[in-house]
Amino acid sequence: MDIFQAFVLLNSHGVSLLRAIAERSPYDVASSGIALSTAKQYATLADVLFGPADSPRLQRDSVALAEQRGLSVEHLLMVNKHAKKLKKRGAAWKLRAELIAHQGSFEEVDAYGAQRVKEEAGETPKEPGVRIGRAVGGMRTLTVTDTQRRITDFEKTLDATDTSDQPRSTALLEAFWKRVDGSGGVLRPEYRTVIAIGLDDFAKVSCGNGDEVIVGLSDGTTMTGAELINAALAGALGENLYAGLFHPTAGPVNLYETRFASLKQRIMATAENLVCPWPDCNVPADRCQVHHIDAHKNGGHTSPSNLTMLCRYHNGVNDDDPTKRRRGRIHRHRGKVRLITPGGKLLGNTHQLSTMGAMNLLN
Dist. CA 107–CA 115, nearest whole Å: 12
Dist. CA 171–CA 163, nearest whole Å: 5
Dist. CA 34–CA 20, nearest whole Å: 16
Whether residue 254 lies inside any domain: the answer is yes
Domain boundary among 95, 121, 147: 121
Domain boundary among 100, 121, 142: 121
Residue-level pLDDT at 207: 62
Residue-level pLDDT at 89: 92
Whether residue 188 lies inside any domain: the answer is no
Residue-level pLDDT at 257: 41
49 near 61, Cβ under 8 Å? no
Whether residue 190 lies inside any domain: the answer is no
Residues of the chain with pLDDT under 50: 184-185, 256-262
Residue-level pLDDT at 20: 94
- List the beta strands (DSSP E) in 22-61: none
Residue-level pLDDT at 46: 95
Shared-domain flag, residues 91 and 56: yes
Whether residue 238 lies inside any domain: the answer is yes
Residue-level pLDDT at 240: 57
Whether residue 306 lies inside any domain: the answer is yes
The model's pTM: 0.58
Residue-level pLDDT at 259: 29
Shared-domain flag, residues 308 and 343: yes
| Cβ neighbours of 333 (radius 10 Å) | 13
| Cβ neighbours of 81 (radius 10 Å) | 16
Domain that holds residue 167: 129-182
| Cβ neighbours of 304 (radius 10 Å) | 23
Instruction: Encode pLDDT of 25-44 as tens digits.
Output: 999 999 989 999 999 999 99
274 near 356, Cβ under 8 Å? yes
Our count of domains for the chain comes to 3
Whether residue 189 lies inside any domain: the answer is no
Dist. CA 77–CA 194, nearest whole Å: 41
Whether residue 164 lies inside any domain: the answer is yes
